[in-house]
Structure 1
Amino acid sequence: MLMLDLQVRIPSKVETPAGSPVRQPQTEVPPSLIAALIDLHVIRCFQSVLIHVQMLWELMLLGEPVVVMAPSPTFSSETVLALVSTIAPLHYCGDYRPYFTIHDSEFKEYTTRTQAPPNVILGVTNPFFIKTFQCWPHIIRLGDLKMSGDLPKQVKVKKLAKLKTLDTKTGIYTAYKTFLHKDKALIKRLLKGIQKKRPSEVQSAILRRHLLEQTQSFILPLERYLESLMPPQRSMSPWKTPPQIRSFSQDEFMKTLEQAGPQLTLKGDWTGLYRRFFRSPNFDGWYRFRHREMTQKVECLHLEAICAADLLTWTKDKSEVEIVDLILKLREKLTRARKHQLPVKEELLERLEQSIQTIISSLPEDLQTLLHRQ
């Protein structure tokens, strides 16, 4: 049975480091919670790959297929979770298996050479996997964990062709070239911290803050661009269908980077990184979620416009058919707001419900009876 030594810090309900919180399916662990669970283990997991933190962050951001080969199930699991958490609060939308064995049902699917590896991170310990996963583009081979206070030997990036024998040395086997340059000051600070035996909690906090700021900086231009796609509030009319959210244009977004690009000291090919990100499952998952949020916002604004309107006066010169049509549409909107739990005040919904009843009361009795039955 796999046992993980995890110390838990549950984030508060209002803890939303990247603006809007990411709602996760109940079967998954949110990245913010993963980060909280392994805060004390991050520096331990990455101690031998600190000079490659930038590469690891990019591989996670882009949802690249990665195999982590570790000496124990615990180390394998902690490292995979640490990797997933590097892009928090952005949700990692690929699959990840902290401890993967030959008995897993997807073993044949993941080891076939007839198709490209899926977007998944696998944590393994069996040396047999070295040959099995030679077709994968990124393999991280880790050695035994040592926290003696001595400067840990940093693993090298090696060519995948060298991954042949079961006694393959530790290293990162990949042909990947980072889009952004390393933050040498951060690496130097962390390595110096190990030499001076700085507490792992402090080391992890330094690394976590750097990763968080880098992710937020990357996402901020995307968030700003999304805001520009929203229809203006003044365009909301209670008598018309709510306006549409403009479509996401990659080329249009790229043009905004000149004025609203990432505010970081890291140099490199940010444009290339965004274009690669657009092809990743993480972008697809992020955009779907944010678009759903924006759609709900439009619905809320439209609902507010309806509640602020004098609906009864509008009905004075309208036919009974038009009035009944309005009532049915308002009821549908009210039902949808409650069913989908739109973030609107209950008093607003109650006011709309009262307005519907007032309009119904202005109609002939036979129509009132018919509408009350529905």
Structure 2
Amino acid sequence: MMEAMQTEADAAAAYGLRALATVVFDIDAGQKLDALHPPSCLSEAAKTSLAHLSLPHCTNQDEGDTQFIVRFRDNADDRELLFGFVLFRQQKDESRTRGYFQKALVLVSTKPFVDLYDRVLRVVGPLFFKVGPQVLAAVYNNIQSWPDLVYDAPVVLPLAGTYISCIIPKLLDYEHLDSTYESDGDSPLHSHFIVEGEDDATDFPDFNDIDDDDDDEEEDTEETVLVKGGNFVVSRRQHPPSPSFGDLLLSKQTHQSTPFENIGLYSSFVSLEESLWLLWQLAITGESVLILSPHARTCSQASLAFTSLIAPLQFQGDCRPYFTVYEADFDTLASRQTHGVSSPKDVTVIGTTNPFFMKSLSHWPNALIFPFLEPPSVKPQQRKGASGAEAAGEADETGTICLRIQKNVELDDFENSHRPMILRRCPRYMVPDSTVLRQLVSPPEIHITQTTSHEEEPYVTINNAILRKHFRKLTKDFLHPFEQYFGIWKPGGRRSNLYMSAEDYMKPFTLPGLLSSIKPRQLPPQIKQGKWKALYTAFVKSPHFEPWFNFRRQRCIREFANTLRTLRDSVDANLLLSSPFGDNLSQEQYVKLKKEMEVALALEKAQGEVDKQQIQTIKKHLKAVKEKLRSFKQTQ
């Protein structure tokens, strides 16, 4: 019994599941947690955060369901943040004081499995609003019964009497040197949703229509109960679907992903296509950005997509895809960027629907503002603080307003517009790629709404794939000049051997050395046509550089060390006592070799799993060197 419970808990942990919750608006208490399962799995601070974040501040009156993502801490001193996958429903209801029914279902996870939990919510959300809070325990128990987690392959998971099909990506982790950083044959991710079976996944029976007459064989009486004893019970078990074509395509990728690569770039930045290269620059150079939209889903998706623009680099910063002024650490985040200049130690991306942030974060370094207004009859006037030449010249063909503003100018000096607006305080180092822009499929007329269809238009899927592939390649090409620092070289005057330290033979990094080694003609056109030296300098100073550089460096060192370990087992000790040309080594060289062997032996003994054969080999080699040193002493 205990083993079964432990197995279920392990399954929930593997998929990152922490809790399910519901949030409502109480006319007296405001936003509050209505139900939580398991009941004691979150701190009081986390419950408060969840309540504040799950019912978005909206000036519009869109009705229906919308999904977005939030991030919050369980405890104030926690380094890692939890993910909240929110399904928010708003419906007009004159019987309520506010005139609307507002309620949210939230799935709390420790892992950013966006595709998976988006699909889970789309299945269980309609059931929750029909059946009630007993669905929380049933979903939790259902996920606990899922099979062992499988990465980067199509998986079909049972859920509430139906099945969901998805790909769960293996995420790149700088803490583990066996992570696969890059490989050939990129297969860009895109967001899609498949629920297959005999019936529509959201077509649940109306409990009010269930007849208790056991003699009526035409109805599924007792067997129709969907939630019973904390579990789903269905009258007809559906057959698992075959993996979709889209999932089979995604399974072909051979690289590990960074979080949020499955969020579409085109769908997240509608009408901002020409500005994506500027956003890539802001992301890779570690600029803090405020993303404002009238819709919670829009700012949430755009914030996460922004951090994924620099894949395969991991974004090293604090990203809050939807944030409110009521969060406990609002003042902390607001104080990070007060002088109009991004601090590398405090890079922060904030998404919000509240225009008050333009005033409270008035000196934030950069802002992306989605349209809050319908197209006006007259053009909005330019406000103070923008360079006249740039204000006149940077409104691109898609209608995006892109202004460079002075450091002392406040963000709330600018009025709302019917066009997207990018306000930045840093220079532009990049130019757009006109070839990629021409490849994008032209859309029909687009209207951004809070409630979006689950089905993705074909042109959106195609454009998402084009942009994801382009920016992943752009980042890899940008990083290519650093490859010279991830190889083993042989500096003059040093003798190589099977016990040498890899660090001694790797090229030391300096920014001037990097810049002098770069040949501009080998850079991507979007980079070499701009201020590429300033771009590389800003990247090296950003928080993204050092973790990535150390990861690549350490992985190279480990791979080289493993190669040496393999070679040692096949080399006779006597071969180590002479040069490749058969000459005897000097006494100083033997002393150095002895020290290198002793270091290697100590490192080998410190391994978690000791390789007895390797230790035996090193001791044999070390014995031969010591004997040679003794012979030197005897002849002196």
Short-chain TM bin? 0.7 to 0.9
> What are the equivalent positions in structure 2 for 1:1-374 lying under 5 Å apart?
1=54, 3=85, 6-8=114-116, 9-11=167-169, 18-19=182-183, 32-39=257-264, 42-112=265-335, 116-117=341-342, 118-143=346-371, 154-158=399-403, 160=405, 161=409, 163-164=411-412, 168-169=416-417, 170-190=420-440, 192-193=442-443, 198-223=458-483, 225-228=484-487, 230-231=489-490, 235-238=495-498, 243-258=504-519, 261-264=522-525, 267-311=529-573, 329=599, 331-336=601-606, 338-339=607-608, 349-355=611-617
Q: Which residue of 1 aligns with 2:127?
A: none
Structure 1 residues 74 and 275, CA gap change in structure 2 (3 angstroms): same
Deviation by residue 1:86-125 (Cα, 9 ceiling, x = unmatched): 1111111122111222233432123237565531111112
Structure 1 residues 191 and 179, CA gap change in structure 2 (3 angstroms): farther
Instruction: Tell me how large the CA RMSD over aligned residues is.
Output: 4.1
Question: Which has a greater percent of helix?
Answer: 1
Deviation by residue 1:65-93 (Cα, 9 ceiling, x = unmatched): 11111223322221111111111111111
Using CA pairs under 8 Å that are at least 6 residues apart, name the structure with larger relative contact order, 1 or 2: 1
* Distance of 1:326 and 1:265 partners within structure 2: 47
Deviation by residue 1:293-338 (Cα, 9 ceiling, x = unmatched): 23323433443453343348979xxxxxx9x9998655423234x4
* Distance of 2:596 and 2:403 partners within structure 1: 67
Question: Which has a greater percent of strand?
Answer: 2
Question: Would you say the 8 A contact 2:498–2:568 is kept in 1?
Answer: yes
Structure 1 residues 76 and 230, CA gap change in structure 2 (3 angstroms): farther
* Distance of 1:155 and 1:100 partners within structure 2: 24
Identity score, percent: 22
Q: 1:207 is aligned with what amino acid?
A: L
Note the C-alpha offset of 1:57. 0.6
Structure 1 residues 274 and 261, CA gap change in structure 2 (3 angstroms): farther
Structure 1 residues 230 and 259, CA gap change in structure 2 (3 angstroms): farther
Structure 1 residues 18 and 329, CA gap change in structure 2 (3 angstroms): closer
Note the C-alpha offset of 1:215. 0.9
Structure 1 residues 302 and 3, CA gap change in structure 2 (3 angstroms): closer
Note the C-alpha offset of 1:61. 0.7
* Distance of 1:15 and 1:352 partners within structure 2: 25
Question: Would you say the 8 A contact 1:128–1:166 is kept in 2?
Answer: no
* Distance of 2:556 and 2:181 partners within structure 1: 19
**TM superposition score normalised by structure 2:** 0.45
Q: 2:299 is aligned with what amino acid?
A: S
Structure 1 residues 145 and 227, CA gap change in structure 2 (3 angstroms): farther
Structure 1 residues 109 and 192, CA gap change in structure 2 (3 angstroms): same
* Distance of 1:214 and 1:360 partners within structure 2: 49
Structure 1 residues 52 and 301, CA gap change in structure 2 (3 angstroms): same
Note the C-alpha offset of 1:56. 0.4
Any stretches of 5+ residues in structure 1 without a counterpart?
Answer: 21-29, 147-151, 316-321, 363-374
Question: Would you say the 8 A contact 1:137–1:174 is kept in 2?
Answer: yes
* Distance of 2:444 and 2:427 partners within structure 1: 27
* Distance of 1:18 and 1:198 partners within structure 2: 28
Q: Which residue of 1 aligns with 2:213?
A: none
Structure 1 residues 179 and 114, CA gap change in structure 2 (3 angstroms): closer
Question: Would you say the 8 A contact 1:92–1:282 is kept in 2?
Answer: yes
Structure 1 residues 222 and 326, CA gap change in structure 2 (3 angstroms): closer
Work out which of the two has the higher radius of gyration on C-alpha atoms and give 1 or 2. Answer: 2
Structure 1 residues 360 and 274, CA gap change in structure 2 (3 angstroms): closer
Q: 1:179 is aligned with what amino acid?
A: Y
Partner of 1:67, secondary structure, is strand
Question: Would you say the 8 A contact 1:137–1:175 is kept in 2?
Answer: yes
Structure 1 residues 283 and 231, CA gap change in structure 2 (3 angstroms): farther
Question: Would you say the 8 A contact 1:69–1:141 is kept in 2?
Answer: yes
Structure 1 residues 313 and 135, CA gap change in structure 2 (3 angstroms): closer
Partner of 1:297, secondary structure, is helix
Deviation by residue 1:135-182 (Cα, 9 ceiling, x = unmatched): 012101113799xxxxx9632113544732696224111233321221
Question: Would you say the 8 A contact 1:214–1:264 is kept in 2?
Answer: no
Note the C-alpha offset of 1:252. 1.9
Structure 1 residues 335 and 77, CA gap change in structure 2 (3 angstroms): farther
Question: Would you say the 8 A contact 1:217–1:264 is kept in 2?
Answer: no
Partner of 1:192, secondary structure, is coil
Question: Would you say the 8 A contact 2:277–2:430 is kept in 1?
Answer: yes
Deviates more, 1:246-255 or 1:211-220: 246-255
Partner of 1:122, secondary structure, is strand
Partner of 1:281, secondary structure, is coil
* Distance of 2:545 and 2:595 partners within structure 1: 40
Partner of 1:177, secondary structure, is coil
Structure 1 residues 279 and 202, CA gap change in structure 2 (3 angstroms): same
Structure 1 residues 203 and 332, CA gap change in structure 2 (3 angstroms): same
* Distance of 2:618 and 2:471 partners within structure 1: 51
Note the C-alpha offset of 1:212. 1.4
Q: What is the number of equivalent residue pairs in this alignment?
A: 331
Question: Would you say the 8 A contact 2:299–2:322 is kept in 1?
Answer: yes
Deviates more, 1:353-362 or 1:301-310: 353-362
Structure 1 residues 120 and 54, CA gap change in structure 2 (3 angstroms): same
